[in-house]
Structure 1
Amino acid sequence: MTTLLINSGALNWTVVLDNRATPAADLLQALIAGRALDEADARPVDGLMLLSIDRPTLAPSVDGDGMFGWSGVPRAVWGGNAAIALACRGSVEAPGFLPRRLDLTLPAQPGYPDVIQALNLGGVELHRVPVGLRGRAVAANGAPRPFAQIDVSGLWHRSFDYVDETSPSTIDTIAAVAPGLARFRDGAGLQARVWQLQLQPQRSALLDDALPGARRIRVSAGVPFAPGSATDVIAIAGLGDTTEILHVDAIASPVTPDEVLVDLRHPLAEAHVRGGEVRNAQLAGASAWSPIQHGVHAGDRSVCLANGGVLATAGDLIEIDGGGVPSEIATLTRVTAIADAGGFYSLPPLHRASLIRLRAQHAAELQPAEATFVLEPSLAAMRGDVVFPI
């Protein structure tokens, strides 16, 4: 404290100045910071970004060069109990990219209230949205090659992995999955295997609409659910041709003799309407495990595999395991096609690869044709014709 005596004519003032510094805990400051990076080229994501977080005392902010974060007043954020770490969940969204969910932990503050330690996320990779690749297989003179076989012969994870046609692939093979995966997984030990689905005759029906993100559904009695089983699953019919395959975690006490509450291992990815069919099913005929390359994020529709041989196993489901979270099941589509009578082909929507090389083969051609394409995320679908050599 500093005391000043001020005299002005007949008036005297005593002024006490508080020159103590305001504690850091009472100052608005950045508490979480990161930089959004494009997975395909490791460059910062520029432009519009939408941030959300489940703590109302944190406010979002976005700067140029991919910088983003949340700020707040530490005393309000920790509520006076800075000795504990705070768990929170945020998300980052940007046009042309899948939303990236972030499971965050604000560290405990041993130096509180004078020293506040922020959480630095470093680079946060965003995965590009899937792109549908379609085109036509044609002869050198432009004539269509009907029923040509179209396969993937090269995949490059990042754009700078590819220099020319001699550049070795950095993804062994890729699988298209639906719906988008439920969980973020990273680190060593991620793996995938292929299953066959055997639908059982028992049927139930949804008694309520079920929205994306739901972990509990109300269904009619009829299906013999098997909570916690590794191979017993349920198939929930969705809108159009979509079907979700899910493990059951638990069965709540029946609401009535005619209905039950079912707790799911993972949240629903799609919307399902009341009356939708729920069937009992079993997984059978598992393939060997294949290591997963380059991790997976929630919402991914493509999985990079180090061993393409597992896709030769019969089956239309893929199991994703590892990363410290329970395994999940998704519908599998192999990235291959046979052209129609006009030579036109279509591949399932893909991402996670920056460039893809296709090989076309046809009985009337002595040599296969190859063409390399850049998967451009600004396009929902792109055209890629494959021309056979003379």
Structure 2
Amino acid sequence: MKSINWDYLFEIDLPVVREVEDACRRMNLSSIMSFNCDWNEEVVAQFYATLCVNRITKTFHWTIQGKPFSVGYADFANILGFSSSDLTKEKIHESENVLDDGELHFMYDSAYGDIKFGSIHGLTPYYKLLNQLFRYTLCPKGNDLDNISDMSKNLLARMASNQNEFSVFDFIWEEIIICSVSPKKSCHYAPYIFAMIKEVTGVEILTDKGHQVYKPKKGQLQCLLKIGAHAPRRSAQGPLHAPSSSQGPSSSQNPSSSHGPPPHAPKKKGILCFISQGLFACFNVGRHNAQEIHAHRKYVEEQLLKMEERQKTLMAKNDMPHSLIRAPMDFPPPTTFYNPWEELGSSSMMFGAPQMDDDDIEETDEEEEDDVPAADTPTDEEEDDDEDDEDDE
């Protein structure tokens, strides 16, 4: 988990950041998202391992090193800085089921990529930034970052301008319970839990995990949101028609409508070419190492023979008994394997397939496309048939 430094994000100077912060402040999310507290991983793990929830009294019970502790619903909320009014607001987990992917349609715009409901693909900058911030705070995720899962969908939908406020603490409370009973969930919400444990136990526990702050660079944020210099360009065939987003706020940044690249982008190297380069690189590195080892062993053997000859010569001069000088060892050359790349080029291809420039690849693709006749283009055979018909007439 990471905390949000709103002042840092404001310095990036993107309108969508202001729009997101205004929405978070309106929903009373700003403070808890900027909450920062280092934690002790073992203590948080013990909390989750021993947690027992009393739904009637709304109390958490757990043990640390065999000693029992407990905290009430309202007390936990107060420790995190929530007012009593937050606890009386509408509760998402009680009033809603997990939204279907299709119900999120108002968050998407085809101008920001291919739309895939239930994922981050095609999200407008407003909702994409919200999802990014929630992923570090209220809806932490460790993997599968492309998909919007479970109650994260409901939380994002609640950020539309026409939605009412909800109980933020109750959302955290219920998600902690879900983490405690789900084997696939990690020990999320560690900063909030550890701050509560320190308050309840009254013990100053040493921390071993720092609570990092989310500090993206402007270019990284623009690339993530596909805005500014990273905005997708519209096709030359005309503007894209995006679905209506009347249910949610419109994006502050729209993609540029300047002339974009041609409809058919040049092809790049295929996966088979990439794999073949890797395989031949491994093959040739191994062959190169085998040659180096063979040469080194041969050199060492020659040096040992020279030393042995000197030793036996000295022993002979001093009439000392000695054995005959042994015959040199035979070092057959390494096994030769067929390498087709040697037939195509020089030693520059030693560690892989021949490298083609991007320009060469584009030209090759264009030639291949030119060779394929269009659907309405007559072939040479058809033209010859037409000429024969005219001659017959």
**TM bucket normalised to smaller:** under 0.3
Compute the TM-score of the two structures, normalised by the length of structure 2: 0.20
Point out the structure with the larger helix share. 2
Larger radius of gyration: 2
Compute the TM-score of the two structures, normalised by the length of structure 1: 0.20
